[in-house]
Amino acid sequence: EVQMVESGGGLVQPGGSLRLSCAASGFTFSSYWMSWVRQAPGKGLEWVVNIKYDGSEKYYVDSVKGRFTISRDNAKNSVYLQMNSLRGEDTAVYYCARFLSSGSYYDHWGQGTLVTVSS
Amino acid sequence: DIVMTQSPDSLAVSLGERATINCKSSQSVLSRSNNQNYLAWYQQKPGQPPKLLIYWASTRESGVPDRFSGSGSGTDFTLTISSLQAEDVAVYYCQQYYSTSFTFGPGTKVDIK
Protein backbone atom coordinates (compact mmCIF):
# COMPACT_ATOMS: atom_id res chain seq x y z
CA GLU A 1 0.00 0.00 0.00
CA VAL A 2 1.28 3.43 -0.94
CA GLN A 3 1.81 5.61 2.10
CA MET A 4 3.29 9.03 2.67
CA VAL A 5 3.48 10.38 6.20
CA GLU A 6 4.39 13.98 6.90
CA SER A 7 5.90 15.18 10.16
CA GLY A 8 7.68 18.16 11.62
CA GLY A 9 4.87 20.70 11.69
CA GLY A 10 4.14 22.89 14.67
CA LEU A 11 4.03 26.41 16.02
CA VAL A 12 6.92 28.71 15.10
CA GLN A 13 7.48 32.42 15.51
CA PRO A 14 7.74 34.73 12.51
CA GLY A 15 11.28 34.67 11.18
CA GLY A 16 11.82 31.18 12.53
CA SER A 17 12.64 27.90 10.82
CA LEU A 18 11.08 24.48 10.57
CA ARG A 19 11.97 21.28 8.74
CA LEU A 20 9.21 19.07 7.41
CA SER A 21 9.70 15.42 6.53
CA CYS A 22 7.69 13.05 4.39
CA ALA A 23 8.36 9.34 4.79
CA ALA A 24 7.20 7.20 1.90
CA SER A 25 6.53 3.48 1.66
CA GLY A 26 4.83 0.96 -0.56
CA PHE A 27 6.33 2.14 -3.84
CA THR A 28 9.67 2.69 -5.57
CA PHE A 29 10.36 6.12 -4.12
CA SER A 30 13.41 6.77 -6.28
CA SER A 31 11.27 6.59 -9.42
CA TYR A 32 8.90 9.40 -8.46
CA TRP A 33 8.99 13.15 -8.48
CA MET A 34 7.75 14.60 -5.20
CA SER A 35 5.99 17.82 -4.29
CA TRP A 36 4.95 19.87 -1.33
CA VAL A 37 1.52 21.45 -1.64
CA ARG A 38 0.05 23.64 1.07
CA GLN A 39 -3.39 24.76 2.12
CA ALA A 40 -3.94 27.75 4.36
CA PRO A 41 -6.84 27.42 6.82
CA GLY A 42 -10.13 27.59 4.93
CA LYS A 43 -8.35 28.27 1.64
CA GLY A 44 -7.50 26.43 -1.55
CA LEU A 45 -4.53 24.35 -2.58
CA GLU A 46 -1.22 26.02 -3.42
CA TRP A 47 1.63 24.18 -5.12
CA VAL A 48 4.92 24.97 -3.35
CA VAL A 49 7.76 22.94 -4.83
CA ASN A 50 8.69 19.93 -7.00
CA ILE A 51 11.81 17.77 -6.88
CA LYS A 52 12.85 15.29 -9.53
CA TYR A 53 13.28 11.62 -8.63
CA ASP A 54 17.08 11.99 -8.46
CA GLY A 55 17.06 15.45 -6.88
CA SER A 56 18.64 17.07 -9.93
CA GLU A 57 15.76 19.45 -10.66
CA LYS A 58 13.78 21.61 -8.26
CA TYR A 59 11.05 24.12 -9.00
CA TYR A 60 9.61 26.57 -6.45
CA VAL A 61 6.67 28.92 -6.30
CA ASP A 62 7.92 32.49 -6.31
CA SER A 63 6.65 33.26 -2.81
CA VAL A 64 9.04 30.77 -1.17
CA LYS A 65 12.12 31.12 -3.37
CA GLY A 66 15.19 31.85 -1.28
CA ARG A 67 13.41 30.82 1.94
CA PHE A 68 12.40 27.17 1.41
CA THR A 69 14.63 24.32 0.27
CA ILE A 70 13.46 20.90 -0.82
CA SER A 71 15.70 17.84 -0.63
CA ARG A 72 15.32 14.10 -0.72
CA ASP A 73 17.12 10.99 0.49
CA ASN A 74 16.22 8.06 -1.70
CA ALA A 75 18.03 5.67 0.64
CA LYS A 76 15.61 6.70 3.38
CA ASN A 77 12.57 7.04 1.10
CA SER A 78 12.08 10.55 2.37
CA VAL A 79 11.63 14.07 1.13
CA TYR A 80 12.21 17.16 3.22
CA LEU A 81 11.24 20.82 3.22
CA GLN A 82 13.50 23.22 5.07
CA MET A 83 11.54 26.39 5.74
CA ASN A 84 13.41 29.51 6.87
CA SER A 85 12.35 33.11 7.46
CA LEU A 86 8.80 31.96 8.04
CA ARG A 87 5.93 34.42 7.72
CA GLY A 88 2.33 34.41 8.84
CA GLU A 89 1.22 33.69 5.31
CA ASP A 90 3.13 30.41 5.42
CA THR A 91 0.62 29.09 7.96
CA ALA A 92 -0.97 26.07 6.30
CA VAL A 93 -1.33 22.33 6.19
CA TYR A 94 1.59 21.04 4.15
CA TYR A 95 0.99 17.93 2.06
CA CYS A 96 3.56 15.84 0.28
CA ALA A 97 2.40 14.27 -2.95
CA ARG A 98 3.97 12.13 -5.65
CA PHE A 99 3.85 12.14 -9.43
CA LEU A 100 5.47 9.76 -11.85
CA SER A 101 7.16 12.06 -14.32
CA SER A 102 7.57 15.63 -15.37
CA GLY A 103 4.20 16.49 -16.79
CA SER A 104 2.18 14.17 -14.63
CA TYR A 105 -0.54 14.40 -12.03
CA TYR A 106 -0.63 13.63 -8.30
CA ASP A 107 -1.93 10.13 -7.75
CA HIS A 108 -1.23 9.90 -4.02
CA TRP A 109 -1.09 12.43 -1.20
CA GLY A 110 -0.04 12.30 2.43
CA GLN A 111 -2.37 13.34 5.24
CA GLY A 112 -0.55 16.61 5.83
CA THR A 113 1.16 18.40 8.71
CA LEU A 114 0.08 21.76 10.10
CA VAL A 115 2.53 24.65 10.27
CA THR A 116 1.45 27.68 12.28
CA VAL A 117 3.54 30.84 12.15
CA SER A 118 2.55 33.15 14.97
CA SER A 119 4.02 35.09 17.85
CA ASP B 1 2.73 31.15 -14.70
CA ILE B 2 -0.48 29.53 -15.87
CA VAL B 3 -3.45 30.90 -13.94
CA MET B 4 -6.40 28.60 -13.34
CA THR B 5 -9.90 29.89 -12.71
CA GLN B 6 -13.03 27.95 -11.78
CA SER B 7 -16.73 28.68 -11.87
CA PRO B 8 -18.92 28.77 -9.99
CA ASP B 9 -17.33 29.30 -6.58
CA SER B 10 -20.03 27.06 -5.13
CA LEU B 11 -23.17 25.27 -6.17
CA ALA B 12 -25.99 23.37 -4.55
CA VAL B 13 -27.59 20.53 -6.45
CA SER B 14 -30.43 18.19 -5.55
CA LEU B 15 -29.62 14.55 -5.00
CA GLY B 16 -29.64 12.71 -8.31
CA GLU B 17 -29.24 15.87 -10.34
CA ARG B 18 -26.30 16.97 -12.47
CA ALA B 19 -23.48 19.17 -11.20
CA THR B 20 -21.19 20.97 -13.63
CA ILE B 21 -17.95 22.72 -12.73
CA ASN B 22 -15.93 24.78 -15.16
CA CYS B 23 -12.19 25.38 -15.22
CA LYS B 24 -10.27 27.73 -17.44
CA SER B 25 -6.51 28.10 -17.90
CA SER B 26 -4.79 31.34 -18.90
CA GLN B 27 -2.96 29.50 -21.65
CA SER B 28 -3.43 26.23 -23.44
CA VAL B 29 -2.44 23.08 -21.55
CA LEU B 30 -2.75 20.94 -24.68
CA SER B 31 0.52 19.41 -25.76
CA ARG B 32 1.03 19.28 -29.50
CA SER B 33 3.56 16.48 -29.11
CA ASN B 34 1.15 13.94 -27.62
CA ASN B 35 -2.23 15.65 -28.07
CA GLN B 36 -2.88 15.39 -24.33
CA ASN B 37 -4.39 18.03 -22.07
CA TYR B 38 -2.30 18.35 -18.89
CA LEU B 39 -5.30 18.89 -16.65
CA ALA B 40 -6.42 16.99 -13.54
CA TRP B 41 -9.40 17.18 -11.21
CA TYR B 42 -9.28 16.46 -7.47
CA GLN B 43 -11.95 16.05 -4.81
CA GLN B 44 -11.29 17.18 -1.25
CA LYS B 45 -13.54 16.41 1.68
CA PRO B 46 -13.17 18.22 5.03
CA GLY B 47 -10.14 17.10 7.00
CA GLN B 48 -8.84 14.93 4.18
CA PRO B 49 -6.15 15.33 1.54
CA PRO B 50 -7.22 15.78 -2.07
CA LYS B 51 -8.13 12.70 -4.05
CA LEU B 52 -7.43 12.30 -7.76
CA LEU B 53 -10.57 11.94 -9.86
CA ILE B 54 -9.63 12.72 -13.46
CA TYR B 55 -6.34 13.13 -15.32
CA TRP B 56 -5.45 14.01 -18.92
CA ALA B 57 -8.68 16.06 -18.71
CA SER B 58 -10.97 13.08 -19.27
CA THR B 59 -9.39 9.85 -17.95
CA ARG B 60 -11.09 8.62 -14.81
CA GLU B 61 -8.80 7.34 -12.07
CA SER B 62 -9.26 3.69 -11.12
CA GLY B 63 -12.03 3.25 -8.56
CA VAL B 64 -13.69 6.59 -9.27
CA PRO B 65 -17.43 6.18 -9.94
CA ASP B 66 -18.47 6.64 -13.54
CA ARG B 67 -20.86 9.44 -12.60
CA PHE B 68 -17.72 11.62 -12.63
CA SER B 69 -16.55 12.70 -16.06
CA GLY B 70 -14.17 15.28 -17.45
CA SER B 71 -14.19 17.04 -20.79
CA GLY B 72 -12.66 19.96 -22.62
CA SER B 73 -9.45 20.86 -24.38
CA GLY B 74 -6.95 23.68 -24.70
CA THR B 75 -8.05 26.24 -22.12
CA ASP B 76 -11.61 25.24 -21.19
CA PHE B 77 -12.53 22.21 -19.15
CA THR B 78 -15.54 20.78 -17.34
CA LEU B 79 -16.06 18.31 -14.53
CA THR B 80 -19.53 16.76 -14.51
CA ILE B 81 -21.17 14.74 -11.77
CA SER B 82 -24.05 13.15 -13.62
CA SER B 83 -26.16 12.18 -10.62
CA LEU B 84 -25.09 13.82 -7.38
CA GLN B 85 -24.80 11.55 -4.35
CA ALA B 86 -24.54 12.62 -0.72
CA GLU B 87 -20.92 11.44 -0.57
CA ASP B 88 -19.99 13.84 -3.39
CA VAL B 89 -20.27 16.88 -1.09
CA ALA B 90 -16.76 18.28 -1.29
CA VAL B 91 -14.56 20.94 -2.82
CA TYR B 92 -13.33 20.22 -6.33
CA TYR B 93 -10.08 21.58 -7.75
CA CYS B 94 -8.65 21.58 -11.24
CA GLN B 95 -4.88 21.59 -11.67
CA GLN B 96 -2.57 22.05 -14.63
CA TYR B 97 0.64 20.06 -14.84
CA TYR B 98 1.67 21.39 -18.25
CA SER B 99 4.37 23.65 -16.85
CA THR B 100 7.08 22.83 -14.32
CA SER B 101 5.27 25.18 -11.95
CA PHE B 102 1.97 23.53 -11.19
CA THR B 103 -1.10 25.60 -10.42
CA PHE B 104 -4.52 24.85 -8.99
CA GLY B 105 -7.85 26.48 -9.52
CA PRO B 106 -9.41 28.19 -6.48
CA GLY B 107 -11.89 25.36 -5.94
CA THR B 108 -15.64 24.85 -6.29
CA LYS B 109 -17.69 23.79 -3.29
CA VAL B 110 -20.50 21.36 -4.05
CA ASP B 111 -23.39 20.97 -1.61
CA ILE B 112 -26.78 19.32 -1.54
CA LYS B 113 -29.78 21.53 -2.22
Confidence of residue B91 (pLDDT cuts 50, 70, 90): very high
CB contact under 8 A, A103 and B51: no
Confidence of residue B54 (pLDDT cuts 50, 70, 90): very high
Residue B45 has a pLDDT of: 98
Contacts of residue B1 in chain A, CB cutoff 8 Å?
62
CB contact under 8 A, B49 and A111: yes
CB A107 within 8 A of CB A3: no
Confidence of residue B85 (pLDDT cuts 50, 70, 90): very high
Average pLDDT of chain A to the nearest whole number: 97
Confidence of residue B75 (pLDDT cuts 50, 70, 90): very high
pLDDT in tens, A60-97: 999 999 999 999 999 999 999 999 999 999 999 999 99
Contacts of residue A44 in chain B, CB cutoff 8 Å?
91, 93, 104-107
Region B1-20 average pLDDT: 97
User: How is A34-60 classified by DSSP, letter by letter?
Assistant: EEEEEE-TTS-EEEEEEE-TTS--EEE
Q: Does A42 touch chain B (CB under 8 A)?
A: no
The minimum CA-CA distance between A46 and chain B, rounded to whole Å, is: 7
Percent of chain A with pLDDT over 90: 96
CA distances to A48, B25, B80 from B72, in Å = 27, 11, 11
Residue A60 has a pLDDT of: 97
* CA closest to B54 among chain A residues: A105
Q: Does A105 touch chain B (CB under 8 A)?
A: yes
pLDDT in tens, B13-31: 999 999 999 999 999 999 9
